[in-house]
């Protein structure tokens, strides 16, 4: 009997040992495979453009301060750490942060910057006292693309973590961290006895290593099996890895808060989430609050339970004072301070959904969703936060003003704004809704509406590209026109319901004469016009109907932006881009998105067109811009209005920026707005409040300028230097020449006819109608 019992005991012992070793082996493999591999899935981060500062750069004091505030820099009298700045009249002292750019890391530096007449006059490195040729502030984080588990974290290394944070964490959570082997049996027994005596959990016995194992490898299941696995894995973790490696992993793994579906993990992300600061910028009181939150992120949530969080923080500050991490006086004083937690602005994915949607679409050409959600990529974009905010403000305020002025139901109107750099096609701002933070329907990218007269520059460019036949003074005919279309007759009309007879080509564009434009388009050929539209950057299929010549084609604002960018760049098309570079989680460059340029139109023809578009904004359908913009800000552009006043468009450019605006209603009902009374006001409000350069057109080598009588459509003789200078392509067709005397007699005759009572009344009404086209 005894032998049998002994044999059975031995069998059970061997059997138990076998399964214990097998379990330990499985746990060991689980630890090493994950801990030595990629430990976390990291979201992709999308950044705006860095602000580049250099001597001579035009920037307003208000704009520079706005940039610093957006980057969460703190204005202070004494600079003590990165992320702070000081202002003394027009002098800025800025303590920049350590920044990993795609082309290399820029270390934290203190710079002194002086402004004079809205330009940077001095830029000095405070330490070396040397003038700097260029300095960059870090780009603004505008969005993140989260993993499937919605965990958000910023990885930090132990060497980059404040020593006070590490010491405080160990003081509060695991005083013997550097002495134990992963578990503390006596502490577990003490906690067990205390909990049994209280009848509930009042004390924990877990080490930092055990807490890391529980969060990193195991579920939150409360069972003996899980606790045993936790203990075994803690021992194995300590066997394989150094204490500092374990502590660093804990600093990055610990759960510290919730933002909707987004889980906040790690102290670096919690620092951003609660204080809008980098981890190396935390104050002792902020460190104490975060360490206190580690005990229970929901229970000690400083936004939901500020009194509870403050009591916990103060207890930790008191311990810090008692153990010498802080002086007793400092610890006592800090207990009286406010929590200093920033107001909660739910990040969701981004406060700039319209722009980020465009970035996501361009990213999909090169990256899988899985890569974007897990590889910790950094995506550097062209986004300009100051211009974006101004565009949002201009759209929302102008629409509200129009509704109030016209007694429309509030929030009836909708709108969109897109803006890019003129020379490089870098998209700087996208607004797809009057309430820009809403991640709903993106009118800037996805709305397709008839574009009206903003299409006309393509027609006139096609004509001007044939200098042997057309020039700016070529006579067009604004007379009754009937075109057979699908068994019916189409009779285009002008906005004022009148015909204007013979008119110079430039004037037909300047005053947006529909009938003359259709006459011209039919002469050129609809297919030829469509070819020009495609050359300018419109990729969508266009059906060749005659009504196309008046904008009866539905396109989104972003497509119109591409068309006008090509015109603004002198006929050189640069595909609109939002992405500049992508780096991996080690900040190694993965891909650059270089500038590509293609000649889409003959520069001389584009120069002639741009001259006419500039005149549109002086004397034509957009002449009211002169009252809406600063006097020195010259621009070029075109209004657009669709049937029954459903859509209001304006597209135009300065020397440095191109912008397109649309105003309409989602139900497609009439807005009672023309291009100049709706969209142009949004455009002007945006452009006058950003730093942009007045338009200065430079004629290509094949352009000759002649003094001309534009109304008569003729050139003045060489002896008669009057009228206006009009550009012509050298070697092309020139208008007839008129002498000074003949021109004077012609003007006197026209003046006598125009001053008749009937003509005066008719002309005044006609001018009034044209202003609002």
Task: Encode burial over 383-392: b for 16+ CB neighbours within 10 A, e otherwise.
Answer: bbbbbbbbbb
For residue 106, give the nearest of 51, 45, 48, 161 by alpha carbon: 51
Annotate 467-478 with b (16+ C-beta within 10 A) or e (fewer): beebbbbbebbb
Q: Shortest CA distance to 674 belongs to which of 638, 643, 645?
A: 645
Beta 554-555 vs 255-259: how paired, if at all?
unpaired
Q: Which residue has the tokens 């309430």?
A: 435
Nearest-5° Cα angle at 326, 324 to 332: 115
Q: Which of 664, 605, 658 is nearest to 635 (CA)?
A: 658
- Residue 476's DSSP bridge partners are 503
In this structure, what DSSP letter does residue 547 have?
G
Q: What is the DSSP string of 146-195?
A: --TT-EE-----GGGS-HHHHHHHHHHH-TTTTTSSS--HHHHHHHHHHH
Checking DSSP bridges between strand 151-152 and strand 262-265, what pairing results, if any? parallel
CA separation for the pair 75, 97 (Å, rounded):
14
> Alpha carbon 630 to chain centroid distance?
26
Write the DSSP string, 695-726. P-----TTEEEEEEETTTTEEEPTT---SEEE
- What 3-state DSSP class applies to 452? helix
Of 324, 220, 272, 212, the residue nearest 43 (C-alpha): 272
Dihedral-angle region of residue 446 (phi above 0 means left; psi in -120 to 50 means alpha; beta otherwise):
alpha
- Are the CB atoms for 639 and 680 separated by under 8 Å? yes
Distance between CA atoms of 471 and 732, rounded to whole angstroms? 8
Contact between residue 658 and residue 561 where contact means Cβ atoms under 8 Å apart: yes
Element (H, E) at 429: strand 427-431
Question: DSSP alpha helices (H): ranges in 435-550?
Answer: 456-464, 505-510, 514-524, 526-535
Q: Apex CA 240: angle with CA 238 and CA 241, to 5°?
A: 70
Helix or strand (DSSP H, E) at 255: strand 255-259
Contact between residue 662 and residue 443 where contact means Cβ atoms under 8 Å apart: yes
Residues 216/149, Cβ–Cβ less than 8 Å:
no
Classified as helix, coil or strand, 87 is: strand
Nearest of 463, 506, 468 to residue 733 by alpha carbon: 468
Strand partners, 682: none
Catalytic residues: 173, 453
Sequence-ordered list of residues with C-beta below 8 angstroms from that of 537, at least 6 positions apart, any chain: 559, 562, 563, 565, 566, 573, 575, 576, 600
Helices and strands in the chain: count of H runs, count of E runs: 24, 34
How many Å apart are CA 213 and CA 233, to the nearest integer? 7
In a 10 Å sphere around its CB, with 0-12 CB exposed, 13-18 middle and 19+ buried, how is residue 157 labelled? Answer: exposed
Sign of CA dihedral 222, 224, 229, 232: positive
């Amino acid at each position: 009997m005894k032998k049998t019992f002994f044999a059975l005991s031995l069998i059970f012992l061997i059997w138990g040992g076998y399964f214990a070793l097998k379990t330990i082996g499985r746990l060991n493999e689980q630890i090493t495979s994950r801990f030595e591999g990629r430990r976390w899935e990291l979201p992709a981060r999308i950044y705006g453009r860095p602000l580049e500062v250099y001597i001579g750069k035009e920037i307003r004091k208000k704009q520079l301060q706005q940039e610093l505030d957006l980057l969460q820099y703190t204005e202070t009298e004494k600079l003590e750490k990165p992320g702070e700045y000081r202002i003394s009249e027009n002098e800025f002292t800025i303590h920049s942060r350590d920044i990993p750019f795609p082309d290399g890391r820029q270390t934290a530096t203190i710079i002194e910057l002086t402004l004079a007449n809205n330009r940077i006059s001095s830029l000095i490195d405070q330490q070396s006292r040397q003038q700097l040729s260029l300095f960059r502030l870090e780009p603004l984080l505008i969005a993140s693309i989260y993993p499937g588990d919605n965990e958000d974290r910023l990885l930090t290394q132990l060497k980059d973590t404040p020593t006070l944070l590490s010491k405080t964490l160990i003081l509060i959570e695991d005083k013997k961290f550097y002495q134990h082997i992963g578990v503390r049996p006596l502490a577990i027994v003490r906690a067990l006895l205390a909990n049994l005596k209280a009848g509930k959990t009042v004390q924990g016995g877990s080490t930092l290593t055990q807490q890391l194992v529980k969060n990193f490898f195991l579920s939150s299941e409360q069972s003996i099996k899980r606790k045993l696995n936790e203990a075994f894995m803690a021992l194995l973790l300590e066997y394989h890895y150094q204490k500092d490696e374990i502590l660093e992993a804990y600093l990055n793994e610990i759960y510290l808060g919730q933002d909707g579906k987004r889980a906040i993990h790690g102290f670096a992300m919690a620092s951003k989430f609660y204080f809008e600061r980098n981890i190396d910028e935390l104050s002792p009181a902020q460190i104490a609050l975060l360490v206190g939150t580690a005990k229970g992120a929901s229970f000690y949530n400083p936004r939901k339970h500020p009194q509870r969080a403050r009591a916990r923080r103060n207890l930790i500050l008191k311990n810090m004072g008692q153990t010498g991490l802080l002086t007793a006086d400092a610890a006592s004083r800090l207990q009286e301070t406010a929590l200093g937690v920033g107001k909660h602005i739910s990040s969701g994915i981004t406060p700039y959904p319209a722009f980020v949607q465009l970035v996501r679409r361009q990213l999909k050409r090169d990256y899988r969703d899985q890569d974007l959600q897990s590889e910790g990529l950094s995506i550097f974009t062209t986004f300009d936060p100051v211009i974006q905010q101004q565009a949002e403000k201009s759209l929302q305020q102008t629409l509200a003003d129009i509704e109030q002025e016209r007694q429309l139901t509030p929030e009836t109107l909708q709108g969109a704004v897109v803006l890019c750099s003129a020379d490089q096609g870098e998209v700087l701002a996208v607004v797809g809704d009057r309430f820009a933070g809403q991640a709903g329907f993106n009118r800037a990218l996805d709305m397709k509406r008839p574009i009206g007269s903003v299409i006309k520059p393509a027609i006139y460019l096609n004509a001007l590209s044939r200098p042997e036949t057309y020039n700016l003074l070529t006579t067009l005919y604004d007379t009754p026109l009937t075109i057979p279309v699908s068994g019916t007759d189409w009779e285009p009309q002008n906005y004022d319901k009148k015909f204007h007879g013979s008119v110079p080509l430039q004037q037909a564009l300047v005053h947006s004469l529909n009938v003359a434009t259709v006459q011209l388009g039919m002469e050129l050929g609809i297919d030829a016009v469509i070819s020009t539209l495609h050359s300018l950057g419109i990729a969508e299929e266009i059906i060749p109907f005659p009504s196309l010549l008046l904008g009866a084609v539905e396109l989104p604002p972003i497509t119109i932006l591409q068309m006008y960018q090509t015109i603004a760049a002198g006929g050189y098309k640069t595909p609109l881009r939002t992405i500049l570079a992508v780096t991996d989680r080690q900040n190694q460059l993965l891909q650059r998105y270089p500038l590509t340029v293609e000649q889409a139109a003959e520069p001389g023809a584009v120069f002639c067109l741009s001259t006419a578009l500039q005149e549109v904004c002086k004397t034509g359908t957009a002449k009211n811009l002169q009252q809406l913009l600063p006097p020195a800000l010259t621009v070029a552009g075109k209004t657009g209005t669709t049937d029954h006043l459903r859509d209001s468009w304006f597209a135009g450019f300065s020397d440095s920026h191109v912008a397109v605006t649309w105003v309409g209603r989602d139900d497609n009902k009439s807005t009672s707005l023309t291009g100049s009374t709706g969209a142009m006001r949004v455009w002007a409000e945006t452009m006058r409040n950003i730093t942009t350069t007045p338009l200065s057109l430079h004629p290509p080598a094949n352009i000759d300028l002649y003094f001309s009588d534009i109304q008569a459509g003729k050139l003045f003789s060489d002896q008669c230097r009057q009228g206006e200078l009009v550009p012509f392509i050298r070697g092309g067709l020139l208008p007839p020449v008129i002498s000074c005397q003949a021109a004077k007699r012609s003007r006197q005759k026209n003046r006598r006819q125009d001053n008749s009572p009937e003509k005066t009344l008719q002309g005044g009404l006609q001018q009034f109608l044209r202003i609002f086209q």
